[in-house]
Structure 1
Amino acid sequence: MYTFATATVTFLLQCVFFVNGKTVSGVFRSDLARETNGQYITKFFYQAGDGLMVYRLENVPVAIQKEAKLLMFNDVQGFDNLSCLDRLSHAQLSISLSAEQHNQTVPQQVYPQAWHILYVDRYTCQESDTQAAPSEDLNFQIILMNPDSAGNPLDHFSAEEAGLHSFYFLLILAYFIASCIYMQPLWQALYKGGPMHTVLKVLTIALLLQGVSVLFNYIHMASYARDGVGTPLMGSLAEFCDMVAQVQMLYMLLSLCMGWTLSRSKKTQTKPLQWDSSPKSTSLAIGAVVTQGILLIWEQFEDTEHHSFHWQRSVPGLLLMLFRVALAVLLASVLYYITSAERSALKRDFYLHFAKGCCLWFLCHPALVLFSGIFNEHQQEKVVAIGVILCQSIAVIVLYQLFLSRSLYWEVSSLSSVTLPFSMSRTQRGRF
């Protein structure tokens, strides 16, 4: 219940604060340009080849009266310390808005760079209201394109998004092949039940949500490749599914570790490694889920573009990474305590593999964010997004194999040692 509510609130906020992609539509406003020393429109990573910027404009006479322009910068560092006129003088390109449509070629560059677009007019740097700007706003559409494989500027994907479309397609193909191979044995394991039946159901739902998220991302990007806008609803649904999987896995992993610890302290060994949903473990898991949900919602206010895993340039993003590291440390310490007191070599091996799956799930995002620092700016988002999706999918598979291969053995061994009255002891076996 808490998991679904947290993810739903985050999803609704994403729909409200979503910013369109690289076909950008909106309104040029003189008052906003004056307040901010230039109305910021968008950012686009152009490839090394010839890129293209196309604008379409309504009410051209008003734009001419305002002396409206689009300024393009490939470096905006230190802008906050510059005056209005100094800021505008640093523009690499200046395009006058004097026609209904204009195609502007971006100069070739040695490596992919981010270009920022600002709107300005004759009233932007005015210090007084001696000459009021016309009240009419200007409706616009800006299309940003990179060269495709043939060298023609027809590719809507920026350099930081290039390749994600193919990655999602290959991942969908991998999910499909794996489902064809493992669907029947997995269904049999779920139907049969067992000591870890609930865990297997949660893992199945988490993996299903990850697959649906990948499918929605692929649909969004397939549409984005055609028009530069995509299907925003699909992008939001992809993030929604991913966040539900995140908080669900967090709740399960914390509940398991805390439950095992409490059951060990109570010396209840009749049902080894069961999911013990005690009030303490449940409250701790719910508190962690709520904390993660708050950080995820806060993060959407800071970064509204569609990325399931952000590069974490914001304060809530950094807090979210620290939170995941803290969870990994907590789970590792709990599992170390359990393992050190466990006499069974089989169970110690189980806890060790379980710890590896937990650490991979929680630490892959912070580790990849740090690792991405060695790459160029346009590669960092892709390294984080692709790496986290793959690592967390591997973590789910590791946990799957662990519980499927061990739970049945412990169920049988527990029955033979505790429940069955005619089990052979070691001394009895020695007589034969």
Structure 2
Amino acid sequence: MSRLFARFLAAALFISDALGKSVTGVFKSEVARLQNGQYITKFMFGGDSGRLVCRLDNAALAVEHEARLLLFPDMDLDGLSCDEKLARAQFTIHLKHDEHNQTVPRQSSPTLWHVLYADRYTCQDVVTLPSHPDVQYTILMFNPDSAGNPLDHFSSEEAGLHSFYFLLLLAYFVASCIYVQPLYQALRKGGPMHTVLRVLTVALGLQGLSALCNYVHLARYSRDGVGFPLVGSLAELWDMIAQVSMLYMLLSLCMGWTLSRRKPQSRPLQWEQTPTSTAVAAGVVIAQGVLLLWEQYSAADSEHHSFHTQRSLPALLLLLLRLTLALVLASVLYQITSTERSTLKRDFYLSFTKGCFLWFLCHPVLVFVSSIFNEHQREKVVTIGVILCQSISVVVLYQLFLSRSLYWEVSSLSSVSLPLTMSRTNQRGRY
């Protein structure tokens, strides 16, 4: 198990961004023959004219091989022979010079293009491959920038994410300047909500660190089309840690609901530390952690985003896990609120559940909603929407557990109804 975790972690951290918008590699005739065309990269060109630049280190060898780049708007080519597949290419770039510039005509809407390499040996299985060295290449792809010049490295589905992360970091900075001192004082005092506030602060800090890494990666990416792949992977790692931290906190708080079927109100919101509750919470957290690593590993050939819209098996299992947790929480909430007579307690439970629902359901709901958008908008809708919704969820929980008018009054009603209530601490004199 530890070896499997290490492999997933290494893949999440250190795998290179094979589909970057500045791609350097080697054209291999053997690979092109094996795959009926060597797959190079993909890029979503915008509606206006885009540009593809290919630079070779040995143009004479490319001419000898009759090398060419093929651009396909659709890669659903199963069942076709090699010649039929290559004939479906929308554009063909014959590689005869050290540098080639290909303009992609204006499209009615942003279109995803796939780039393949082929040569004279690709569809000739009976021809012996030469022993010549392979041709090294560098491919650059550009969309029009704000001035209409083809100089923008961002693919259409990524346009705007750089500005979003800048505004997000600005919001984090302003909020920290306003609230860092009161929050620091609350954490120093300890008290009934200390553990919850500490986990919330750690999760929010990790999300801020993830946003910073994404911004740094995209800032460099906008200049060279490569960015810092390791920094982009670190952004995903920080976000994964924040996800499992929040999940463990919410499960630990809700375990009194889920494990107390006979007496659902005996400990409705208790931070459980019994062996059974700890095992259940840890098991669910580990399951989510493995699914997150699996999802990142299966999406290793995509761009560095914390949330993906691909319909891979681990992504679907993650969505199913979050939906299940939300349904369990809804079921227990109904049992508690239907018999609770105190309006104040009911308001507290409902506010807590709103924060939980927002955290658990935002990703599944946004993935479903994104299906009505165009292809180039889906990734941005999910990425931006989930980050904003989870940030709002953290704010809702912060307000709930920092509120003297709600949490403290509710906790003072009953010494067994809320976690770490005033009657349970040994520091009553401090309050």
TM-score, length-scaled by structure 1 = 0.90
Q: Which amino acid aligns with 2:313?
A: V
Which ranges of structure 1 fall in alignment gaps of 5 or more residues?
420-432
Matched, 1:248 2:245: yes
Higher helix proportion: 1
Write the deviation string for residues 337-390 of structure 1: whole angstroms up to 9, x where unpaired. Answer: 333343432222111111111111111111111101111111110011000000
In the aligned structure 2, how far is the partner of 1:331 from the partner of 1:401?
20
- Does the 8 A contact of 1:272 with 1:414 survive in 2? no
In the aligned structure 1, how far is the partner of 2:45 from the partner of 2:227?
19
For 1:37, the equivalent position in structure 2 comes to 36
In the aligned structure 2, how far is the partner of 1:25 from the partner of 1:46?
19
Please point out which of 309, 329, 351 is paired with 1:353: 351
Which segment drifts farther, 148-157 or 408-417?
408-417
Q: Against the structure 1 CA distance between its residues 10 and 196, is the aligned structure 2 distance closer, same or farther, given a 3 Å change threshold?
A: farther
For 2:383, the equivalent position in structure 1 comes to 385
Matched, 1:107 2:105: yes
For 1:161, the equivalent position in structure 2 comes to 158
Q: Against the structure 1 CA distance between its residues 411 and 272, is the aligned structure 2 distance closer, same or farther, given a 3 Å change threshold?
A: farther
For 2:286, the equivalent position in structure 1 comes to 290
Matched, 1:394 2:392: yes
Q: Secondary structure at the match of 1:143?
A: strand
Write the deviation string for residues 240-285 of structure 1: whole angstroms up to 9, x where unpaired. Answer: 110000011111111111135557967997x984412111111111
Q: Secondary structure at the match of 2:55?
A: strand
In the aligned structure 2, how far is the partner of 1:115 from the partner of 1:272?
54
- Does the 8 A contact of 1:257 with 1:334 survive in 2? no
Which segment drifts farther, 43-52 or 183-192?
183-192
Q: Against the structure 1 CA distance between its residues 175 and 10, is the aligned structure 2 distance closer, same or farther, given a 3 Å change threshold?
A: farther
Q: Which amino acid aligns with 1:278?
A: T
For 1:280, the equivalent position in structure 2 comes to 276
For 2:53, the equivalent position in structure 1 comes to 54
Please point out which of 83, 87, 98 is paired with 2:85: 87
Q: Secondary structure at the match of 1:76?
A: coil
For 1:141, the equivalent position in structure 2 comes to 138
In the aligned structure 2, how far is the partner of 1:125 from the partner of 1:199?
63
- Does the 8 A contact of 1:272 with 1:410 survive in 2? no
Q: Which amino acid aligns with 2:113?
A: W
In the aligned structure 2, how far is the partner of 1:267 from the partner of 1:335?
10
Q: Which amino acid aligns with 2:37?
A: G
Q: Which amino acid aligns with 1:41?
A: I
In the aligned structure 2, how far is the partner of 1:418 from the partner of 1:61?
84
In the aligned structure 2, how far is the partner of 1:273 from the partner of 1:407?
12
Write the deviation string for residues 383-429 of structure 1: whole angstroms up to 9, x where unpaired. Answer: 1100000011111111111111133334545579979xxxxxxxxxx
Q: Against the structure 1 CA distance between its residues 268 and 363, is the aligned structure 2 distance closer, same or farther, given a 3 Å change threshold?
A: closer
State the Cα distance separating 1:157 from its structure 2 match.
Answer: 0.4
Please point out which of 99, 117, 121 is paired with 2:115: 117
In the aligned structure 2, how far is the partner of 1:316 from the partner of 1:264?
31
Matched, 1:409 2:409: yes
Write the deviation string for residues 297-356 of structure 1: whole angstroms up to 9, x where unpaired. Answer: 222332112110000321211111111111111222233333334343222211111111
Q: Secondary structure at the match of 1:364?
A: helix
- Does the 8 A contact of 2:298 with 2:312 survive in 1? yes
Q: Which amino acid aligns with 1:381?
A: E
Q: Secondary structure at the match of 1:41?
A: strand
Which ranges of structure 2 fall in alignment gaps of 5 or more residues?
416-420, 425-431
Q: Which amino acid aligns with 1:351?
A: Y
In the aligned structure 2, how far is the partner of 1:191 from the partner of 1:273?
23
Q: Secondary structure at the match of 2:115?
A: strand
- Does the 8 A contact of 2:362 with 2:386 survive in 1? yes
For 2:418, the equivalent position in structure 1 comes to none
- Does the 8 A contact of 1:255 with 1:276 survive in 2? yes
For 1:188, the equivalent position in structure 2 comes to 185
Q: Which amino acid aligns with 2:65?
A: K
Identity of paired residues, percent? 61
For 1:14, the equivalent position in structure 2 comes to 12
Q: Against the structure 1 CA distance between its residues 5 and 273, is the aligned structure 2 distance closer, same or farther, given a 3 Å change threshold?
A: farther
Q: Which amino acid aligns with 1:230?
A: G
Write the deviation string for residues 85-130 of structure 1: whole angstroms up to 9, x where unpaired. Answer: 11111111111111121111111111111111000011111132x3
Write the deviation string for residues 39-95 of structure 1: whole angstroms up to 9, x where unpaired. Answer: 111110111111110111122222111111100111222x11211111111111111
State the Cα distance separating 1:133 from its structure 2 match.
Answer: 3.3
Matched, 1:226 2:233: no
Q: Which amino acid aligns with 1:139?
A: Q
Q: Which amino acid aligns with 1:344?
A: S
Q: Which amino acid aligns with 1:307?
A: H
Q: Against the structure 1 CA distance between its residues 137 and 189, is the aligned structure 2 distance closer, same or farther, given a 3 Å change threshold?
A: same
State the Cα distance separating 1:292 from its structure 2 match.
Answer: 1.1
TM-score, length-scaled by structure 2 = 0.90
Which segment drifts farther, 403-412 or 144-153?
403-412
- Does the 8 A contact of 2:54 with 2:139 survive in 1? yes
- Does the 8 A contact of 1:257 with 1:335 survive in 2? no
- Does the 8 A contact of 2:21 with 2:141 survive in 1? yes
Q: Secondary structure at the match of 2:17?
A: coil
Q: Against the structure 1 CA distance between its residues 309 and 6, is the aligned structure 2 distance closer, same or farther, given a 3 Å change threshold?
A: farther
Q: Against the structure 1 CA distance between its residues 318 and 411, is the aligned structure 2 distance closer, same or farther, given a 3 Å change threshold?
A: closer
Q: What pairs with 1:160-179 in structure 2 (closer than 5 Å)?
A: 160-179=157-176
In the aligned structure 2, how far is the partner of 1:5 from the partner of 1:359?
34
For 1:300, the equivalent position in structure 2 comes to 296
Q: Secondary structure at the match of 1:374?
A: coil
In the aligned structure 1, how far is the partner of 2:338 from the partner of 2:242?
31
Superposed CA RMSD: 2.5
